[in-house]
Amino acid sequence: MSSLGVYIELKEGKVKKTNLELLTLVHQNGQSATAIMFADDAGGYVEELGAYGVEQIIQITGLEGPNSYPEVRSGQLAEIIKEQGLSDFIGTHSAHGKDLLPRVAARLGAPLATDCIGVDFEQGVATKPMYAGKVIAQVKLTGRHRLYTMRPNTITPEKAAAGTTPKIKTVAATAGTPLSQIKEIVKGVAGRIDLTEAQIIVSGGRGMKDKENFKLLEEMADCLGAAVGASRAVGQTGKTVNPVLYIACGISGAIQHFAGMKTSKVIVAINKDPEAPIFKKADFGIVGDLFKVLPVLTEELKKVMKGD
Ligand SMILES: Cc1cc2nc3c(=O)[nH]c(=O)nc-3n(C[C@H](O)[C@H](O)[C@H](O)COP(=O)(O)OP(=O)(O)OC[C@H]3O[C@@H](n4cnc5c(N)ncnc54)[C@H](O)[C@@H]3O)c2cc1C
């Protein structure tokens, strides 16, 4: 049986939902995990991580907070993976995970499968979309250590059948030299959800005409607790998203856009052109002028969300 490490990302002191997805994947594989996190006091996470079947928490102290310096963190993680003899190590395919795990893999000389939608840890086989989603590949990883990043929103978090009370092991970070310096962190729009992790996305294309008109999308997004996206921002060269619901407004459905949102569970399209390609891909379509449709739809959604 493989020995498994899961990288736990914290956001504002909370375990990210995407990490619970990773822990679910692990216990669904019939295995238990060592959770590895940069925290000075992981005591507050024991109950939550234990509910997802974590056996052990390794807290690396001295490197908590936003000044994460992946070049320093990667060295610490590589040492722990070696020292613990972890055969498999998985993190989220988030901005941070994409920065961190390739560095860890390089330090270990280990293979890394990125943007996975499934992993069989026993076989070391990762399932992942390739060539902008045109094929779904099964990639076999070999070697002493195997690393993976998992696409967010692929798995619904589920607690383990039997909860645990994980023990905490503390490892003090050894000094590393950051090669970069974070000068300033500029927060995104307050309260807005990260696109790649959002469950619902309301997205606008050139049909929105003007950035001012994105207010219409923001109003709907606020009502649904959604993130706001756009063509170009999502796609082959943009971000890959994987929400439960993707509402495309004034987006034609170009192949390059589709590549980044095709795994959305439900796609709704609003477009005035009944021949727009997006309708061939959408589960539900509204043919109409979005400037007329959106205000009405938002008002109706508000009523539904309020339970009127
Ligand atoms: C190498 C390469 C990489 C690319 N990467 C990406 C990428 O990552 N992501 C991406 O999105 N694109 C990408 N593109 C661009 C892509 O080919 C399309 O040009 C782009 O997706 C089109 O965006 P759109 O749907 O917003 O605009 P358009 O194709 O111009 O479509 C606008 C739509 O709005 C509708 N519309 C207009 N007015 C209204 C109205 N009042 N009410 C309702 N509907 C209305 C129109 O009917 C039309 O269907 C890439 C292109 C290349 C060449």
For residue 273, which of 296, 289, 262 has the smallest C-alpha distance? 289
**What is the per-residue pLDDT for 65?**
61
**What is the per-residue pLDDT for 141?**
98
**Which atom of ligand 1 approaches the CA of 231 most closely?**
11
**Sheet with 266-271: strands ordered across:** 227-230, 200-204, 245-249, 266-271, 284-287
Residue closest by Cα to atom 22 of ligand 1: 254
**What is the per-residue pLDDT for 191?**
66
**What is the per-residue pLDDT for 67?**
56
Q: Probe ligand 1: pick from 246, 257, 291, max atoms within 8 Å of CB?
A: 257
d(CA 146, CA 166) in angstroms, rounded, equals 23
Q: Which two tokens stand for residue 62?
A: 């001295």
CA of 235 to the centre of ligand 1 (A): 10
Domains of the chain from N-terminus onward: 4-172 (3.40.50.620), 195-306 (3.40.50.1220)
Q: Probe ligand 1: pick from 203, 213, 232, max atoms within 8 Å of CB?
A: 232
Q: Enumerate residues 6+ apart whose C-beta is below 8 A from 257.
A: 205, 231, 232, 234, 235, 236, 238, 251
Q: Residues in the chain with pLDDT < 50?
A: none
How many Cβ atoms are within 10 Å of 125's Cβ, its own excluded?
A: 16
Q: Tell me which H or E stretch contains 146.
A: strand 146-150
